[in-house]
Amino acid sequence: MSDLASHLPVLQVLIPLLAAPLCFLLRKEAIVLPFTIAVSFACFAISMNLLSQVLGGDILVYEFGGWSRPYGIEYRVDILNAFVLVVVSGIAAVVFAVGPGQARRVIPEGREYLFYSAALLCLTGLLGVTITGDVFNIFVFLEISSLSSYILIALGLNRRALMAAFSYLIMGTIGATFLLIGIGFMYQATGTLNMVDMAHRIQVLGPTKGVLVALAFVMVGISIKLAVFPLHHWLPNAYSYAPPLVSAFLASTATKVAYYLLIRFTFGLFGAALVFETVGIDRLLLPLSIIAMFVGSIAAIYQTEFKRLLAYSSIAQIGYMTLGLSFATQAGVSAGLIHVFNHALMKGALFLVAACVTWRMGGTNLDVMKGLGQRMPFTMAAMVVAGLALVGVPGTVGFVSKWALVSAALEVDALWIAFLIMASSILALVYVWKVVEIAYFQTPEVELERREPPLRLLIPTWILAGAAIYFGIFSSYAVDVAELAAQQVFMVGL
């Protein structure tokens, strides 16, 4: 048993990787669904276990085939990536448990297993990117997750989903290519692909031309994946045309993993001194983050489709995360990480609300949401709760994020940035309240009786919405872990 426990890091990735083709073989939905749920919960359990192992400050290293670096590939678990693993696998467990109650509408009868295969592959990729200690491995897993997410997005009901998936494919591939070129330069400069070795050698080398070029390529590549303003254009289409379940999963996980990469590369591989002092990325990232906060929120206000509104809101929320990082302080990174967790909960809940609405109304145009407050009271209550969290009302996770981020801003004496963060959260109130007013005050064109979506859809929605309140009041679990992770990033590095 203890033998198995020592293999947990590899099992974290191996289980979903093997489960994906198994879904393909099992085919029958009655078997595939419980199987997928079991797999995703197993992943969640493993990640929780990994987190508890590293929380004391130890770093877990798993060498493949017993080959230690620099010869072999290794997986490396510290607090930072264990935290992200928990977020990704946790959201996967909740969202996959919904099953295709939603997907059934958009996937041809009898082909649900393809959906599950793609979803599990995507999960594999995201977990792999997060856990690996090898730079090239990052690229490989990133491609696994991206390719499968193109499939998932293309499953959308609207035919424009195909176009959205295609343009995401183009942008995603460009991003991956940039990342790969960057990794190539890094390899050329350091002669290793292992992250720890690479970090040491870059520190010795200092800002040589090769390292700087690598930094530029890597940053652009990750920024595309993360949808940093102005490289965000793929995101609104992808999230709004994808099946809502897919949006719920991707919005809460894919960008979070990209944010993890940003932290890993800046603080772990290149080192804060190079990135912030020599190159001064913060001078670019800070204004871009603030613009994203406002452009994303203002664009969200003008949307007429619920999922598209949420997608633009995501761009603004990603702005909060990158803003935290651009302070280049421990408090800033910790605030960004707290928001990774919190945003996953609230956006996940909101996209699941979108799934509920799609199940009932066949779409999520704001027009069809008229009067849903009386017709789907529990669903809409979840929407209000998660929406208020997005605004940052105290008692919800959004407040915890806002508090941490503004504290970080005040710590670097940036009162005006603190003010801008507050101002942009008012914009969030505007777009959230727009939906609330439509749902509660407008009368629908056709009279509908009161009916809620099946519990399989409603319970996961409320799990996330409830968590958005629970972790808003009992915030220390997430906050402590995020602070420890940020501390480790700053004190230990890799």
Partner 1 sequence: MDIEMGLDAHATIIFWSMILPLIGAVGVVALGRWPNLRDSWTIVVGISTFTCVTRLIEPVMAGARPSLALPGNMAGLGLALEVEPLGLLFGLVASGLWILTSLYGFGYMRGHEEVNQTRFFTCFALAISAALGIAFAGDLITLFLFYELLTFSTFPLVTHAGTEAAIRAGRLYLGILVSTSVLFLLLAILWTANLSDTLRFTPGGILDGKIAGASAGLLLLLFSYGVGKAALMPFHRWLPAAMVAPTPVSALLHAVAVVKAGVFTVLKISIYIFGIDFLAKDGLSDILMGIAAITILAASIRALSLDNLKARLAYSTISQLSYIVLGAALANSAAAMGAGLHILMHALGKITLFFVAGAVMVVAHKTEVSQLDGLGRRMPITFGAFCIASFSIIGLPPFGGAWSKWYLVTGAFDADQPWMVVVFMLSSLLSIAYLMPIVVRAFFRPLPEGVPDGINEAPLLILLPICATALGCFVIFFYADSVYRLLAPAMGLGG
Q: Which residues bind to partner 1, rule: CB under 8 A? A: 388, 391-395, 399-400, 402-404, 406-407, 410-411, 415, 418-419, 422-423, 425-426, 429, 433, 437, 441, 472-476, 479
Phi and psi at 74, nearest 5°, equal -130, 150
* Distance spanning both ends of the chain, measured CA to CA: 29
Least Å from the CB of residue 417 to partner 1: 11
Record the tokens describing residue 207, joined without a space. Answer: 């800002």
**Comparison of 129 and 383: residue with beta carbon closer to partner 1:** 383
Cis peptide, bond prior to residue 70, ω within 30 of zero:
yes
Kindly state the DSSP code that residue 305 receives in the 8-state scheme: B
**Comparison of 71 and 474: residue with beta carbon closer to partner 1:** 474
| Burial grade of 76 (CB within 10 A; 0-12, 13-18, 19 or more) | buried
**Comparison of 189 and 432: residue with beta carbon closer to partner 1:** 432
Spell out a b/e string for 309-343, using b for 16 or more CB atoms within 10 Å of the CB, else e: bbbbbbbbbbbbbbbbbbbbbbbbbbbbbbbbbbb
**Comparison of 153 and 432: residue with beta carbon closer to partner 1:** 432
Least Å from the CB of residue 486 to partner 1: 14
Least Å from the CB of residue 406 to partner 1: 5
Least Å from the CB of residue 393 to partner 1: 5
Least Å from the CB of residue 196 to partner 1: 32
If DSSP codes are grouped into helix, strand and coil, which group holds residue 274? helix
Least Å from the CB of residue 219 to partner 1: 31
**Comparison of 197 and 411: residue with beta carbon closer to partner 1:** 411
Least Å from the CB of residue 387 to partner 1: 11
**Comparison of 71 and 441: residue with beta carbon closer to partner 1:** 441
> From CA 33, how far away is CA 104, in angstroms rounded?
12
If phi over 0 gives left and psi between -120 and 50 gives alpha, with beta otherwise, what is residue 192?
A: beta
**Comparison of 6 and 374: residue with beta carbon closer to partner 1:** 374
CA–CA–CA angle 286, 87, 146 (5° rounding):
75
**Comparison of 58 and 437: residue with beta carbon closer to partner 1:** 437
Least Å from the CB of residue 44 to partner 1: 25
Are 153 and 168 in contact by the 8 Å Cβ rule? The answer is: yes
Least Å from the CB of residue 426 to partner 1: 5
**Which residues, other chains included, contact 398 with Cβ-Cβ below 8 Å and sequence gap of 6+?**
342, 346, 388, 389, 390, 391, 392, 425, 468, 472
If DSSP codes are grouped into helix, strand and coil, which group holds residue 1? coil
**Comparison of 388 and 435: residue with beta carbon closer to partner 1:** 388
Are 105 and 245 in contact by the 8 Å Cβ rule? The answer is: no
Least Å from the CB of residue 391 to partner 1: 8
Least Å from the CB of residue 334 to partner 1: 11
**Comparison of 31 and 410: residue with beta carbon closer to partner 1:** 410
> Mutual orientation of helices 377-391 and 330-361 as an angle, nearest 10°?
160
> From CA 354, how far away is CA 248, in angstroms rounded?
9
Record the tokens describing residue 355, joined without a space. Answer: 């799934």
Kindly state the DSSP code that residue 113 receives in the 8-state scheme: H
> From CA 163, how far away is CA 143, in angstroms rounded?
19
Are 362 and 368 in contact by the 8 Å Cβ rule? The answer is: yes
Least Å from the CB of residue 404 to partner 1: 7
> From CA 196, how far away is CA 134, in angstroms rounded?
9
**Comparison of 184 and 395: residue with beta carbon closer to partner 1:** 395
**Comparison of 231 and 335: residue with beta carbon closer to partner 1:** 335
> From CA 42, how far away is CA 369, in angstroms rounded?
36
Name the strand (E) or helix (H) holding 62. Answer: strand 60-63
